[in-house]
Structure 1
Amino acid sequence: MKRTLALLTLSALLSAPALAQSGSIRLIAQSTGAGNPPMDALIAAFQKKYPNIKVTAEYFPIGTAYPQVLRTQLQSGNGPDLFYVTAGSGGQVSVLPLADAGFVAPLTARPWSKTAVTVNYRDLYWKQNQLYAVPLGMTPVAAIYNKDLVKTLGITLPRSLGQFLQTCKTVKAKGKVLLALAGGNAQNAGLLLSTIATNEVLSADPQWNAKRQQGKVTFANTSAWKRSLQTLLDMKKAGCFQPGVEGADIPQAAPLMASGDAVMFVIPTGAISALKGINPKLNLGATPLPASTAALASIPVSPTDALAVNKTSKNLPAALAFADFVASGGGDVTYTKATGDITAAQASTGKNLPPELAGISAALTNKSRVFPLIQLDWSNPKVFTTLGEGVQGLLTGQTTPDQLLARLDAAWDSK
């Protein structure tokens, strides 16, 4: 009887409108090294609308520190009311495994739940007909390029892989590189490969991840995955990357863009502000990374940043009011202005984009060629880590495509 009453009370709270809430809530998220200015901006905007709710924020270093703190607090019963998560199940703080563990309050009863996530991304936030997080924004991944350097070098943006490889040779002959890459950084290296795979794998078979979950396909027996890894090797052979790419980290790769030594850098578009922080005079644009054929050209756009509500929050009404503000009260606009990402509305229409992103507007409107990052629906974080580390092996020649594909399958099947 007590359990039934508790469930009824929780259900009522989850569906109740966020009116005249008060009290205190605690939010934790990851820090990029200088706190978390976008989250600070979101909290300030929320408290302006809800002055009776005090939000205390704590930020922990990105990488392994934040996931460890989050899980320790949740498991100890001392978790925050709200916490930063990422989409799907393939990352260290992905929301679906946390929901499976019973830490996350479902948001299905909120009035905005049916429109918060478009159908392309439903499986990243919904499970068993329950919504478990509210997206903060959408993150396109594109080739960010230096417009002035393109003009100086007298080149045009390549629209196919063949043109891309030829442009690499042209740019190299002029003492520059077409594509900066932090080959020694598993995250950036893996991001480039997953962007290539979005073109080659998902465009050819949008259900590939689901088929891998069902055991109907593997990395090793998928020709599109072999083509994706070969594309990286073809780029290296054509001189697309800077010398020493296999050992470069972000602090070595990013300045190549800022100094005008590299034309492009494949990164989340929200990182444009970081590049401009190095060189405010950069005149940047964005374009999709070319595919092997025009028919496969696509763009990854993912609702990666999100917030989840603790199922055992001591002030659930106030925590839900925060989620409501993000989803339908303008919080997403505040957050994305600070991050350089885009809102769900901008992503779905391609309209009202920041000037630097005008070059991906048309790509965003082709719904059959817009996908979440392929790794967001992977079985566990080891698979993407294996991919990123494997790129370094491909670049040094110590790993073959077949060896890396076998390792990816082994990582997928590991517990």
Structure 2
Amino acid sequence: MKRTLALLSLTALLASPALAQSGELRLIAQASEQGNPTMQALVNAFMKKYPNVKVRTEFFPIGTGYPQVLRTQLQGGNAPDLFYVTAGSGGQVSVLPFLDAGYVADLSKRPWAKTVIPTASRGLYWKGNQLAAVPLGMTPIAAVYNADLLGQLGVSIPRTMPELLKTCQVIRSKGKSMFALAGANPQNAGLLAATLAENYVLGSDPQWNAKRAAGKVTFAGTAGWKKALQTLLDMQKAGCFIPGVEGADLPQAAPAMASGQALAFVIPTGAISALKSINPKLNLGAFVLPGPTAASTVLAVSPTDAIAVSKNSKNLPAALAFADFIATGGGSELYTKATGDISTQQAATGKNLPPELAGIAPALTRKNRVFPLIQIEWSNPQVYTTLGEGVQGLLTGQLTVDALLARMDAAWNRK
């Protein structure tokens, strides 16, 4: 009898999903100078739950470094089992082009596939009946600010763009800057321009991306795009940015904010942990980068960070178990708690947000004023790269608004 019970217990243990998986996986992702402790914590939690699986991580520099490594490995037949991606088609590591190229496994048959991605964001991960990746959480794009410095400067959170420009002038008169900005980094520079476009383009025409895809509008012919980029120049003229912004990269911009030289940084809220790793004493808050009026202001919220499973993984069962762990095994909650991102539930209700994000809670509840990042739906990632690189030209005066928009249209038309 005891022998029978022992055999039954052993059978049950072997049937456990955690013990059924074994072997080794390789995961690659981007990282800052401080590494990627959040991704590593996620991996460590997975290995604790799946003790027979070893996950080896490799991290590469954020910006141009990681995209180059990822593409080289995928194209060279040395694909990792798991790799970090972003949503849609518009970025350097957006997942849908990798799906089209046959590099990622279809996750549509996983039990969570039809429930973890909000309907409004479905097209960012699904193509036809195929699901390309599992999202790690929802990422608002906000002006993350130093709450202590705000009080010291004696200014208030601006609710409109005219208020913001005046606030920039006041802060500059006190020897500080309103915003850190890595003007020489296409990803960070492009993000600010795209966030402005949320207000000036999608705020007045939510269907603009669909119209651009259909050839009914152009960048150069859209007044909202012209206004968005002109507003960026207005911000520069008002002294909103750190000195030397046109030559600054992330190693200069992030410390400027973390050290109190700049009040805020327009970033994905998932970057909060990176700022705190530079200065753990930072008391942070967040506000929505305003549009021309408070009523017209738009908040960008997207499920951007994600993990894709390689179609050619040598240990596909374990790799799929990692995706399951993110979706329904507690991985997403662990990741978003550490990064400053938010869960789908938090995004839908504006409730139970991390303290740093309490300031954007009212904006989350305005459903008709919340959109995914504008560039995520672009089919050609070179368009966003052109935008990001062009911002530096705007800041140096070497490029006009009209010239940059014409370049973006040209990039859109290249296949």
Deviation at 1:35, TM superposition (A): 3.8
User: How big is the shift at 1:55?
Assistant: 2.1
The superposition leaves residues 116-166 of structure 1 with CA deviations (integer Å, 9 ceiling, x where unpaired) of 210221111010122110001222111111212222222211101111112
1:93 aligns with 2:93: yes
CA shift, 1:379, in A, is 2.3
Structure 2 match to 1:391: 391
Q: How does 1:307-346 map to 2 (within 5 A)?
A: 307-346=307-346
Q: Secondary structure at the match of 2:352?
A: coil
Q: Secondary structure at the match of 1:301?
A: strand
Aligned to 1:5: none
5 Å-filtered alignment, 1:3-402, equals 20-402=20-402
Worse-matched range after superposition: 221-230 or 271-280: 271-280
Contact 2:142 2:288 (C-alpha < 8 Å) held by counterparts: yes
TM-score of the two chains, using structure 2 as the length reference: 0.91
Percent of aligned pairs with the same residue? Answer: 70
5+ residue gaps, structure 1, are 1-16
Which residue does the alignment assign to 2:8?
none
Change (3 A) 1:251 1:28: closer
- Give the direction of change, closer, same or farther, for the CA distance of 1:62–1:154 in structure 2 (3 Å limit): closer
Residue pair 1:18, 1:317 contacting (<8 A) in 2 also: no
Q: Is the 8 A contact 2:273 2:338 kept in 1?
A: no
The total of aligned residue pairs comes to: 399
Distance across 2 between alignment mates of 1:255 and 1:92: 25
Q: Does structure 1 conserve the Cα–Cα contact (< 8 Å) formed by 2:34 and 2:277? A: no
- Please list the CA deviations of residues 306-340 of structure 1 after superposition, one character each: whole Å capped at 9, or x if unmatched: 11112232222221111111001100112223323
List runs of 5+ in structure 2 lacking aligned partners: 1-15
Q: Displacement of 1:286 after TM fit? A: 0.3
SS at match of 1:274: helix
Distance in 2 of aligned mates of 1:314 and 1:242: 48
Cα distance, 1:88 vs structure 2: 0.8
Root-mean-square deviation (Å): 1.9
How far apart in 1 are the matches of 2:333 and 2:385? Answer: 32
Change (3 A) 1:262 1:133: same
Alignment check: 8 A CA contact 1:18 1:318 kept: no
Q: How has the CA–CA distance of structure 1 residues 117 and 191 changed in structure 2, closer, same or farther, with 3 Å as cutoff?
A: same
Give the SS at the match of 2:38.
helix
Partner AA of 1:337 in structure 2: K
Shift in Å, 1:18: 5.3
Deviations 1:81-137 (A, max 9, x none): 222211111122211011111121111111111112102211110101221100012
C-alpha contact 2:159 2:293 (8 A) present in aligned 1: no
Query: 1:34: how far off?
Result: 4.1
SS state at 1:25 partner: strand
- Cα separation, partners in 2 of 1:77 and 1:217, compared to 1, 3 Å: same
**What is the DSSP-based 3-state SS (H/G/I as helix, E as strand, rest coil) of the residue aligned with 2:301?**
strand
